Amino acid sequence: MKNYKTILVLLCGMLLLQSCKQKVNKKVTGCTFNLKLLDGQSGKVVVYPYQLVKTMEESKRLTIEKEVDITNNTFNLDTVQVLRNFNISLNDKRFSAEIFTGPGTYNLSFGDDKLVVEGSNLHKEFQKLDEVLGYSKMKTIQYKKDLSKDEAEFKSNYGVNLLAAIKENSKSQSLAAIVYKFYWAADLPTLNTILTSFDTSIHNNFYLKQLIKRKDNLEKVAVGQEAPIFTLNSFENKKVSLKSYRGSFLLIDFWAYWCGPCIAGFPELKEIRAEYDEDELSILSVSTDINKDKWVEAVKKHQLPWTQLIDDETNVSDTYAITAIPHLILISPEGEIVYKHHYSNNLTEELKKFLK
């Protein structure tokens, strides 16, 4: 295993070079799918959204569905270069696949209970990267509890191998997708490493744009920066602005009704609320819930004695680069972010460093 990473990166570069040599110079302007169906075969193709969706309604609106049979077996997608999840049902059989789409022609055939994708160099490149880097394998074991020795070693090396592969394939659109799927919640140093490794010519890639946005937001909400101002609706249906809390320390708690660790932290927050006067410390809860009714029920149930806001429209959680909850931030009387809570620390003790 000593030279595993070196071999992996070199092989990755060779495979992509071979793929690039096979590309035709003729410009392709559409993304066309041809299904090779047999007489009597019919069904439906469902293409799920590649976009970041927050509600079932939005997901339904962006989902593409197409009825198919032997006489109606072609359809087109937009040419955005992204990974899309396909679910195809033909008679009594179902086929699922993740396909890297973009300009080109995709020929789908069905045999031996397997979906075969041919014709697109973009998807061929993705398949080769998947084979070398183990993208599909990582998906199957990422949240697996009991790993074999080989699986544990593979998992521990996966992220490092992705970063190494970028250096050899800095213009690869499909590699950008694979890297994003693993590093979408990365910290600022890791994001800087990723973005400086990819060639700037593909920074307009869908996935890299998401990472750039996260990097920019993380920089804006780093400790020492002024907290971004927001205005949200309260439990009493009033507009509440962050500006109104200037003059005292403010602890913001991002949470959701379904979040067990968030709810487990409420007793400590109530103790903190009782310990400090309002002119010393204010507490503000910001719910990331989409379901407003569930939020209302939770606020009533847990009887939280401080202002409750809901971030159901303005994406404040995105502005604050929040990828996991609970997420607590302490803001100074001057409006500066002075502390971000990590749950390995004791919140009550950490606050004493700022509040006398």
Q: Report CA dihedral (310, 222, 272, 289) to the nearest 10 degrees.
A: 20
For position 20, what pLDDT does the model report?
47
Residues of the chain with pLDDT under 50: 1-4, 6-7, 10-11, 14, 16-25
CA distance 108 to 12: 25
Residue 2: predicted pLDDT: 43
Contact 101, 108 (CB under 8 A): no
For residue 329, give Cα distances in angstroms to 228, 244, 268. Answer: 12, 17, 15
Q: Where are the beta strands (DSSP E) in 163-294?
A: 231-234, 239-241, 249-255, 281-287
pLDDT of residue 22: 43
Q: Considering only CA atoms, which of 290, 312, 314, 287 is closest in space to residue 300?
A: 287
The CATH label, of 3.40.50.300, 3.40.30.10, 3.20.20.220, 3.40.50.1820, for the domain at 231-351 is: 3.40.30.10
pLDDT of residue 92: 87
Compute the distance between CA of residue 189 and CA of residue 194 in angstroms, rounded to an integer. 9
pLDDT for the residue 106: 97
Which of 330, 1, 323 lies closest to 157 in space, CA to CA? Answer: 1
Closest C-alpha among 235, 234, 253 to residue 244? 234
- Identity of the amino acid at 331: I
3-state secondary structure of 268: helix
Structure tokens at 76: 């087109």
Which residues, at least 6 apart from 341, have a Cβ–Cβ distance to it below 8 Å?
327, 328, 329, 330, 347, 350
**Residue 13: predicted pLDDT:** 53
What is the per-residue pLDDT for 27?
Answer: 65
Report the distance separating Cα 318 and Cα 312, nearest Å. 12
